[in-house]
Each structure stands twice: as C-alpha cells, then as structure tokens.
Structure 1
Amino acid sequence: MFVANRMAKNPVTVTPDTPVDEAASAMKKGHFRRLPVVENGKLVGFLSDKDIMRVAPSPATTLSRYEARSLLAKLKIRDIMSKEVISVNEDATIEEAALIMYNHKIGGLPVVSSVGAVVGVITETDIFKTFVDVMGLQEGKTRLTLLVDNKVGVVYDIAGIFTECGLSIDSLVTCRQPYGKYEIVVRGNIPNVDEISEKIKAKGYEIIHTARIG
C-alpha cells in the first residue's frame, strides 16, 4: 500500500505571497486543514489551520468582521507558514508516512514527486481509513486473537488449520508482547468459531479473545 494510492491528489496550494485571508477562505471552502506552500514549482512551506488561528483576532475582540479580515489580508503566508517542511515521497509506503507523522507528532504531510513537485497531501485520516480497509473492518469479519511463543512455524500451523477447514485468512497481524510472546490477530469469514478454535487449541495455541467486528 503506497502513499500515492491513499493521498488527496492535486491539492490546493498557495504561494508565500498569498494573503492569509485568502488562504483561510480556501481552507474553509474546501473543508481541509492544511495547504502546501509552493514557489517556482517547489515546496517551500506548509500551512495549517493552527497557523492561521495563531494570528487571527480572538473571538472576544472588539474588531468588526471587516477590520479582522483587513488585518489578515495584510499578513502573507510567508509570515506564518512552517518553513522547515517535513514531506514524504509519493512512492513511499503507508507505513513510512505513518511513522513520520508519529515520530514528529504531526497530523499531515505534503507529498512530493521524484522531481520535488507537490502532488498530494496525506493526513492521519487517510492513515486511519487505510487501517480500516486493510483489516476489512467494515465487512463484518470474525477476529481471533492468539497468544503464542516466538518460534518458527506458528503462522504455518495457523494457516494450515484454516486450509483444513476450507477457510481463507483475510488479514493476519502480529504484535510483540512482553516476555518473548506475540499476539497474532487473524481475521476472516469464520462461520463456526468453536470448530476452528478447538483445532487451534489442539495444536497447543492459546486463544485469548474472539469477536465479530463490523
């Protein structure tokens, strides 16, 4: 799964000389919270709704709406934008984009092509949607959680049990736990949970949770 397949493509952009009020209007009209700042075809900054809120008059101000708008019109994007831009390449994986956002505690990234042109924006919402889609959560899958030792052959055994029962695994995720254990989360269309649970237990594996999600 790549960033290019999950990002918002052809994003609205602004220049460093765009008045802040114009950018604010564009964000409100388009229902988005971030704008790449482009100059001479290259990414030079990133603007968020928090940047605009930081310089906007307080709701308690005595300024009229016209005066407040005039104040923002005097400011340029270059005055408030983030200049040290963190971006991601369109060929990067979703995992790479998620890790960048997690490490830098940011909610979105401009996406650039191999030549540095802005081609999209990817946000935390896009990451969440990808997670939901990959896990098939909206399709009403059964979820089995196994607690297993870290040893070779575990996934092979589990896949063999599903094959024996004539079932497909839609997704399988492993998560490291303390003391050398792993949780394995398996999702699929499982009409008889008791039957497959007994077969898994017979192989010596512990099922700690079952649920149907979606």
Structure 2
Amino acid sequence: MKVTDYMKWGPLTLDPGVTLFDAMGLLLENRISGAPVVERGRLVGMFSESDCLRGMLEARYHGIDIGVVADYMSRELQVLPAQTTVLEAMEVFLRHHRRRLPVVENGKLVGQISRHDILRAMMEMAAENGIVSEA
C-alpha cells in the first residue's frame, strides 16, 4: 500500500508572501491544521497552526506588524516520494513528529498525507487481514 492510495491529492497550498491573517483564514475555512508552502511550483516550506500562534505572539510581544507565511514557515522539510509505502510513512511520522507530510513526484508536490490518513490505512489493512471486523 502506497501513500498515494490514502493521501489528499492537490492539497491547499500557501504562497510565502501571504499574510499570517490570510493564511489563518484559509486554514480555518478549510478546517486544516497546516499546508505546504509553494513558490513558482516548488515546495519551499510547511506552515502550521503553531506557526500562526508563534507569529501572532511575536508581533504582539515586539509591537511589530504581523508578518507573512515565509517569516514563520518551517523550512526543514520531510517529504515522502510518491512511491513510499504506508509503513515507511508511519516511520517518518514517528521519527519527525509531524501531523502531515508533503508527497512529491519528480520534485513536484502532488499531495499531502496526514497521520489520520495513515490510521485509516492501518484499519483497512487490519480489516483485510481479519484482525478487525470492518474499517
């Protein structure tokens, strides 16, 4: 089972120049906790609720204007190649403590997989093997 069987294809992405308020609005509107940041078709970061909170707190504390996504996004990326198995992805989630991971193919973002997606895959595998009744 590959991550492409369970991931969300073509996820919402953010531009690095989007303001924190606009990014927060998009996260809330789409009921997601984070999104990949893409510039000129290239994945350049990940932006999360924690990044929003950090940006808001820093602006308030230092009395500065709210910044943009690029100011607070995580640039240390853990990506999964599209051919990654669900079990390999599970190891990456545990090792890096992420809620979601971008999935790339030929250097391009094709999707995003979450811990929830991995749990769903595990339940389906358990059902297929008769460990649980139905996923």
TM-score by length of 2: 0.87
Matched, 1:126 2:117: yes
TM-score by length of 1: 0.56
Distance 1:95 1:33 in 2: 23
Deviant stretches of 4+, over 4 Å: none
Distance 2:98 2:14 in 1: 20
SS state at 1:56 partner: helix
Matches within 5 A, 1:39-54: 39-54=39-54
In structure 2, the gaps of 5 or more residues are none
Instruction: Choose between structure 1 and 2 for higher RCO, CA contacts under 8 A separated by at least 6 residues.
Output: 2
Bigger Rg, which one: 1
Give the counterpart letter for 2:28 in structure 1: K
Q: Residue by residue, what CA displacement relative to the aligned partner does 1:123-165 show, whole Å, maximum 9, x if unpaired?
A: 11001111111111xxxxxxxxxxxxxxxxxxxxxxxxxxxxx
1:89 equivalent in structure 2: 81
Decide whether the 8 Å contact of 2:82 with 2:104 is kept in 1. yes
Give the counterpart letter for 2:125 in structure 1: V
Identity %: 28
In structure 1, the gaps of 5 or more residues are 62-70, 137-169, 172-186, 189-211
Q: How many residues align?
A: 130
2:5 equivalent in structure 1: 5
Distance 2:124 2:56 in 1: 38
- Whichever structure has more strand as a proportion of its residues is 1
SS state at 1:92 partner: coil
Q: Residue by residue, what CA displacement relative to the aligned partner does 1:163-209 show, whole Å, maximum 9, x if unpaired?
A: xxxxxxx41xxxxxxxxxxxxxxx36xxxxxxxxxxxxxxxxxxxxx
SS state at 2:88 partner: helix
